[in-house]
Amino acid sequence: MAKEISVLNLEGEKIGAEQIEIPDFKPNMDVIHRYVVAFLSGQRQGTSSTKTRAEVSGSGRKPWRQKGTGRARVGSIRTPIWRHGGVVFGPKPRDYRKDIPEKMKDIALRDTLRTLISNDGLVLVDIADGIKNVKTRVFANFLEKAGLSESKVLVLIDKNFADREKLIRCIRNIENISYCYAEQINPYLLLTHDKLVAQKNVFQFLKNISSSGESNV
């Protein structure tokens, strides 16, 4: 199935179109789920830490004798049932990362990108002439004219684009707009945004991802 992707300029005017072939497919939701779980696990710092009864301050001496006082028996003021005592089964620093095969990462990226394109979620922008007016309103006006001002948009930037820093300055203060370089794209970013606005220069890169081979995973 051929999909036509609109190419707009920064004024929001359609200046062309690109064709991309999307085969009939069913997204591999199991692989996508495993990728998202692994990705979010990798974002966790794993620095939470509590002290056990061996680590909290306080004497290890028995506060009072075992019998004859009328009070409950206790062996240490560091017992977990006392205030300022140790914590039972509390968190300790750990690595939450989960490894998944590179093949699964490729399948997850391919299927999420294909789904986005199939749902008309990809728009190309041609900034070949560079950015003359480095203002947030330049990109805000583009989004409004392209009908994207109410959507959560991910902007994909060509790392070799000469005016990439100017483009980032136009984008970074707009609400619900995120950006990344083409090489940083991942399934989680695609799943958490409604639309993908990509520079025309990176279209071939996206096309190669979308047309990658089928798998039995």
Cβ pair 27, 115 in contact under 8 A: yes
29 and 61 assigned to the same domain: no
14 and 103 assigned to the same domain: yes
pLDDT of residue 99: 95
- Percentage of the chain beyond pLDDT 90 is 84
Beta bridge partner(s), residue 153:
177, 195
Which pLDDT band holds residue 69 (cuts at 50, 70, 90)? very high
Mean pLDDT of the 70-83 span: 95
Helix, coil or strand: residue 199: strand
Q: Exposed/middle/buried for 81, CB within 10 Å: 0-12, 13-18, 19+?
A: exposed
Mean pLDDT of the 143-151 span: 92
The phi and psi torsions of 99 (rounded to 5 degrees) equal -95, 135
Tell me how far apart the alpha carbons of residues 182 and 106 are, in angstroms, rounded to a whole number. 15
Helix, coil or strand: residue 102: helix
Tell me the residue range of the domain where 34 lies.
2-44+97-210
pLDDT of residue 133: 83
80 and 184 assigned to the same domain: no
Mean pLDDT of the 60-80 span: 95
- Give the predicted TM-score (pTM) of the model: 0.85
Q: Which of 4-13, 14-23, 126-135, 154-163 has the lowest mean pLDDT?
A: 126-135
**What Rg do the C-alpha atoms of the chain give, in angstroms?**
27
Who has greater pLDDT, 18 or 132?
18
Helix, coil or strand: residue 145: helix
Task: Classify strands 195-199 and 14-21 as parallel, antiparallel or unpaired.
Answer: unpaired
Among 61, 90, 119, residue at a domain's last position: 90
81 and 150 assigned to the same domain: no
Cβ pair 170, 138 in contact under 8 A: yes
12 and 83 assigned to the same domain: no
Beta bridge partner(s), residue 196:
122, 154
Residue 139 in domain:
yes
CATH of the domain at 179: 3.40.1370.10
Using alpha carbons, list the distances in angstroms from residue 80 to 48, 58, 103, 149, 209. 18, 12, 47, 54, 54
Among 33, 68, 90, residue at a domain's last position: 90
Which pLDDT band holds residue 214 (cuts at 50, 70, 90)? low
Taking 60 as the threshold, does the pLDDT of residue 215 lie above it? Answer: no
Tell me how far apart the alpha carbons of residues 181 and 161 are, in angstroms, rounded to a whole number. 10
